[in-house]
A and B are shown apart, each in its own frame.
Chain A
Amino acid sequence: MSTAATTHAPDDHAHAHDDHHYDPGFWRKWVFSTDHKMIGIQYGTTGLAFLFAGFCLMMIMRWQLAHPGDAVPVIGGLLQAIFGSAAFQTDAHGHAGMLTADGYNAFGAMHGTIMVFFGIVPVAFAAFGNFVVPLQIGAIDMTFPKINMASFWCFFISCIFMVVSFFVPGGAMKSGWTAYPPLSIMADAGPLNHFIMNGQTLWGLGMVFNITASLLGSVNFIATIIQLRAPGMTWMRLPFFVWAQFVTAFLLLLAFPPLESAAVMQIMDRAFGSSFFMPTGLVVGGHPAHWSGGGSPILWQHLFWFLAHPEVYVLILPGIGMVAEVIANNTRKPLYGYKAMVGAILVLGFLSFIVWAHHMYMTGMGAKVAGFFQVTTIMISVPSVILVTALMLSLWGGSIRFTVPMLFATAFLPMFGIGGLTGIPLAFNAVDLYLHDTYYIIGHFHYVVAPGTIFAIFAGVYHWYPKATGRMLNEFLGKMHFWLSLIFINGVFFPMFLQGMAGVHRRWYDGGATYEQLITPVIHWNNFMSVSAFLLGAAQLPFIVNFFWSLVAGRKASDNPWDATTVEWDTPTPPPHGNFIKDISVHRGPYEYSVPGADKDFTPQTEAPKSDRPPGVGVAGPIATHPH
């Protein structure tokens, strides 16, 4: 442990390995840890718990859609006791636990918020990024470990806001995860409500903390990737996952702040009666609203979607990165078109900032502006297709090992493909005006995020679990988890396209019973989708059991159980504080699998070149130099 070594030379990693007697005590090790691996695990467990909670909200909503007006069976009474009478009431048959319209709206809004901001981003970006990225680039930690810890605890505070918001009078926010005004300003506002302790204001405060957390995280990620790459780890030798995280971090860094300012404005409107988003002369329920007016609801939509479109790529890019790692490892061959993929992901990140208003065709934008956003939206499908095509082509001619992570990664490709391709019609405003706010949209983005990103997350969990815990996950349970999930997740989402094209609106609380004569041919799918959703929930049980059971009873993992090439497998399992027990220097690209003439079918990045070439000739020196 160097104490006064403040003039550390970049190649001075030698001190890293006398950290084996590092013992920070319980609190610093498990709770207020500054170690990137522990923070990654904290983010991961919190995020997975929220993913499950968000999924449970959705299952309750699906019950209501399939059986409108009936109390939730078995747990209905319990739900009513927990969430109170705002969300649940007694149904016509006298059973407790019928989801109310307000409760349905609250659950829907919170399902979206939780899944996006408290589930996927923390797991796919923060958890895997924290755990894997420093290991993959050969760094001993993040550049700013204390800020890293602050990031997690900021996130944790935002989690508390969101959880508490369910239990305040009136329940959680009800205006959809997009929180469109005027509804989001008026709901649960006014003299009868506490000016802070109401669902919508707590949501705003939660988002402010959440965004601050992701800001702190993204600064750390970018600085780490730029500053702490091991000697020899040039940009074009970075594993693709690191590239994906790098671009994602920039999206978080630059796209989230406008939503933070919008959230502040929304809190001002709600708590201090200002009129950022309230138009003049607004009449609600026959009475003039008591806001002074002069604002514009469209302002919120612009600021929100300026964030939320890049956010879509924040959700998917880490997933693509994880899938790329798993595919290269399990096909035992290099990724097809690594450079093209890097180029594509950079272009994708850039374009994602200038497509936002395609979410707003319904606001009545004129032909010129709509034309601009249609063009950029179609343009952004090009790099997306490059990425998926390159991953597909990577399968070609590989001797594929169908391990559990590989199963998830392989399934990701067609699932993400469906999600992406169904998005293309939505880019055109003529089509979008019809499909807007129907279940078609729901099906489209859920295919991207659920069997897309969440499958990628599962691939990542199965892939890196041995490194994090030292034990393998059970293969049989994993395969069961995969096949059941694959079948039922399609059962949930595919009928949504059919319903959506028939015109079923996303916000119908009774699943369309009121408009039954309009949607007769498709309304029966409600039942099918709901049953699929419950079975999908059941299909997660093998995973949950596996996850905890393997912690204690799983097969012990070696340091490199998948015979992988990237640097994270060059550490002890699990990696100690400081990560590496030897000096790391990188001598080759990330995916040197099945290199002709090599002794084995993988050549780790850190393996020194054969002795017939003196070290340092033909490879990068100790400091990264760029091939350009």
Chain B
Amino acid sequence: MSDSHDHGKSAAPAAPHDSAAPTELGHDAHHNMLLGLYWGVGGGLLLATAFTVYLSYQDFGSRNANIMVGMMVATIKVGFVAAIFMHLKGEKWTIWKFLLFTMFFATGLFMLTWLHYADPIFGTSHNNH
């Protein structure tokens, strides 16, 4: 567990600077560029929401397929929120490290569904009706 793996790839606005220092011009220009990015991503997410709704009325052959398609779009949207709005793209390695572990454990938690239903003994004993 080391923090020295910081690759220094942080986005400029996240970089701390002296609170008393006046803002420089170059800084502003960079921010204005980011403002465009934020609006762009926001607009994209709105379109993706409309697309999700549209897709949910299309039939991909089975309920599982429909769910897969819907969840894929949602995952992509979430990826953009995390990467751009939450600045995970270029975030410090320290944060990435424990988030990766969290994702792993969350996957483990979702696996319990699979544990319950993929298992032959459960499969036969489950029928409650």
The reply to whether A and B meet directly (CB within 8 Å) is yes
A→B interface (CB under 8 Å): 6-7, 222, 226, 235, 246, 250, 254-255, 258, 279-281, 293, 296, 298, 302-303, 306, 346, 350, 353-354, 357, 364-369, 624-626, 628
Contact A254 B108 (CB under 8 A): no
- The 5 sampled A-B contact pairs (Cβ below 8 Å) are A226-B94, A235-B2, A250-B98, A302-B112, A364-B122
Contact A625 B4 (CB under 8 A): yes
Please pick, from B1, B18, B101, the residue contacting A235 in the complex, using a CB distance under 8 A. B1
| New A-B contacts (7) at CB < 8 Å, excluding given A302-B115, A303-B112, A366-B121 | A254-B102, A255-B105, A293-B128, A354-B108, A369-B118, A625-B4, A628-B4
Contact B128 A281 (CB under 8 A): yes
B4 to chain A: which residues have CB within 8 Å?
A: 625-626, 628
B→A interface (CB under 8 Å): 1-4, 18-20, 94, 98, 101-102, 105, 108-109, 112, 115-116, 118-122, 125, 128-129
Name B106's closest neighbour in chain A (CB-CB). A254
Question: Given contacts A250-B98, A280-B128, A281-B129, is CB(A626)–CB(B108) below 8 Å?
Answer: no
Name B111's closest neighbour in chain A (CB-CB). A354
A279 to chain B: which residues have CB within 8 Å?
A: 128
B19 to chain A: which residues have CB within 8 Å?
A: 6-7
B118 to chain A: which residues have CB within 8 Å?
A: 369
Name A254's closest neighbour in chain B (CB-CB). B105
Closest 3 CB pairs of A and B: A366-B119, A626-B4, A366-B121
Contact B129 A306 (CB under 8 A): no
Contact A369 B102 (CB under 8 A): no
Contact A368 B108 (CB under 8 A): no
A296 to chain B: which residues have CB within 8 Å?
A: 116
**Alpha-carbon separation in the docked complex, A625 to B118 (Å):** 48
B116 to chain A: which residues have CB within 8 Å?
A: 296, 298, 302
A626 to chain B: which residues have CB within 8 Å?
A: 2-4
Q: How far is the CB of A442 from chain B (nearest CB, A)?
A: 26
Contact A280 B129 (CB under 8 A): yes
From DSSP, what is the main secondary structure of chain B's interface residues?
helix
B129 to chain A: which residues have CB within 8 Å?
A: 280-281
Contact A366 B112 (CB under 8 A): no
**Alpha-carbon separation in the docked complex, A235 to B98 (Å):** 16
A298 to chain B: which residues have CB within 8 Å?
A: 116
Q: How far is the CB of A277 from chain B (nearest CB, A)?
A: 13
B98 to chain A: which residues have CB within 8 Å?
A: 222, 250
A368 to chain B: which residues have CB within 8 Å?
A: 119
Contact A346 B1 (CB under 8 A): yes
B20 to chain A: which residues have CB within 8 Å?
A: 7
**Alpha-carbon separation in the docked complex, A357 to B109 (Å):** 11
Question: Given contacts A250-B98, A280-B128, is CB(A226)–CB(B121) below 8 Å?
Answer: no
B120 to chain A: which residues have CB within 8 Å?
A: 366
Q: How far is the CB of A611 from chain B (nearest CB, A)?
A: 29
Name A350's closest neighbour in chain B (CB-CB). B101
Contact A353 B105 (CB under 8 A): yes
B121 to chain A: which residues have CB within 8 Å?
A: 364-367
B112 to chain A: which residues have CB within 8 Å?
A: 302-303, 306, 357
Name A225's closest neighbour in chain B (CB-CB). B1
**Alpha-carbon separation in the docked complex, A250 to B115 (Å):** 25
Name B123's closest neighbour in chain A (CB-CB). A366
Contact A306 B3 (CB under 8 A): no
Contact A369 B115 (CB under 8 A): yes
B109 to chain A: which residues have CB within 8 Å?
A: 258, 306
**Alpha-carbon separation in the docked complex, A296 to B20 (Å):** 58
Contact B125 A364 (CB under 8 A): yes
Q: How far is the CB of B37 from chain A (nearest CB, A)?
A: 29
Please pick, from B2, B18, B108, B119, the residue contacting A369 in the complex, using a CB distance under 8 A. B119
**Alpha-carbon separation in the docked complex, A255 to B102 (Å):** 10
Q: How far is the CB of B122 from chain A (nearest CB, A)?
A: 6
Q: How far is the CB of A586 from chain B (nearest CB, A)?
A: 16
Question: Given contacts A280-B129, A353-B105, A353-B108, is CB(A365)–CB(B3) below 8 Å?
Answer: no
**Alpha-carbon separation in the docked complex, A254 to B122 (Å):** 28
B125 to chain A: which residues have CB within 8 Å?
A: 364
B128 to chain A: which residues have CB within 8 Å?
A: 279-281, 293
Q: How far is the CB of B119 from chain A (nearest CB, A)?
A: 4
Name which of B2, B101, B115, B129 has the most chain A CB atoms within 10 A of its CB: B115
